[in-house]
Structure 1
Amino acid sequence: PSCLLPFAGFACLLFLPRAHLCPAVCSCMDYHTIDCRDQGLPSVPNPFPLDVRKLLIADNNIQEIPADFFIFYGDLVYLDFRNNSLTSLEEGTFSSSTKLVYLDLSYNNLTQLDAGIFKSAEKLIKLSLGNNNLVDVDKAAFENLDQLQVLELNDNNLQSLNVAALEALPSLRTIRLEGNPWVCDCDFANLFSWIQDNASKLQKGLHEIQCSLPVENRRIFLNELSEVSFSECKFSLSLTDLFIIIFSGVAVSIAAILSSFFLATLVHCFQRCAPSKDDDDDEDDSDD
């Protein structure tokens, strides 16, 4: 049956001579290390030896990592995907990357990191995401990366970053944040506090990270700032707070109007149903 063809293909891979599993454009010095760097590849070549441990595929034109890549090559420990043309990471791409320790995705065109995108790569120690076009990193993007020690987010387009994304990394030792267009507004205040508390983890130091001052329209190095610089933020309201206040006010107003209408209706009904004084007098006269 046609439904068995994928399994038949997989079985064939298992029994093919290993030499046949090395793509022609790649160099397979041994069964565990494959070098496909700088070959102008538009996509990930295949097949590879199923027990490949180290894959060097940098300096190509690859636009995506196949969604089932780690299903077939789940033994990968080291993946160098630098300087390609990745624009996004599909959900589930790393779902079987349970042995991955080193992942380099720098010098690509990634724009965002979704929640839990790396959560299956629980043994990851180094994650390089520098020199992309990241503008958004979900607060749960690094979920389950308890062993991650090195994180590189340098030279992207990040203006802010939810500090929860970094607080989820208990083993973090080194981080790179320089080269981003950070904006030193109230949204940046929590991140600045985290950076100050973890300054020893910055590979380039506070003096290499700049941010823009919205009011003064100029850039400044973080070592020129302090907690006092964000003191006004303690008394300011975020956009979310404003929405809550506005919504609460509208809700209270509507509730008051409905309550007034209900009470007025109730009083009106009571007045109509209750016998009037004139009716009582007429009844008394008729009794006489």
Structure 2
Amino acid sequence: MHPSPYYAPQGGHPPQTQLTADRAVFTEAYALIPKGVMRDIVTSYLPFWEKTRLWVLARPLSGFAETFSQYIMEVQPEGGSHKPELDPRAEGVLFIVEGELTLTLEDEPHLMQPGGYAFIPPGSRWQVRNESAAPVRFHWIRKAYAFVDGLEVPAAFVTNEQTVTPIEMLGTEGRWATTRFVDPADVRHDMHVNIVTFQPGGVIPFDETHVMEHGLYVLEGKAVYHLNQQWVEVEAGDFMWLRAFCPQACYAGGPGPFRYLLYKDVNRHAALTL
């Protein structure tokens, strides 16, 4: 297996001589969790998971972002879970950033490597296990599926981003492209988890201001983001959590591509009651 191009946290603990101040920020419109704060002391554990710890990047939070949770899972050799999801309403996406994971989905095994992507509908039968000799690290994005009477739940699938052709944004000459794992017009899906790629110097040339909330994990590279009239630098390993209608734009800094895993909620009516 080739080395992973994606950043994955390793934990550890900084020395007493390190400066305390970092780039972490939490505002009424967005949060930035830089890679330097993903240490051993902030990991957690889950029921029915063996030899596993996780960093919780996002969770539904009243008055802030409310539709999803996102974890970085770290599973040691021979670890995993035969009962990973306890909520029958939850759909999920797994994205591998380092190592190998065996996903058994509806009794069919899938060996997932870096770039591996799985969509798991609510109520699915699935298990995961690390059958390799090294840790595996992966993102797990969860959302309570918004069922619609008369609309089928989308089917499970497993793929790898290397097999999916990115779609260039119109008028950008390839400087901005999105790897889409589902058809945006397929309204059975109520969330999209895509990969966005900017070549060095590529930009979002206006402040996007929209109803979808976002989780953005930087897989590679660096950029400067404009969030709610504030400029913040981000790099591989950082996570941004953007509330609905948070203005957002960016410049990709180079020298290589700037790439991030992007969550957004889509294709449903706005709830009229809280």
TM over 0.5: no
Relative to the length of structure 2, the TM-score reads: 0.22
Structure with a larger share of its residues in helix: 1
| Higher Cα Rg, which structure | 1
Structure with bigger RCO (C-alpha 8 Å, 6+ apart): 2
TM-score normalised by length of structure 1 = 0.21
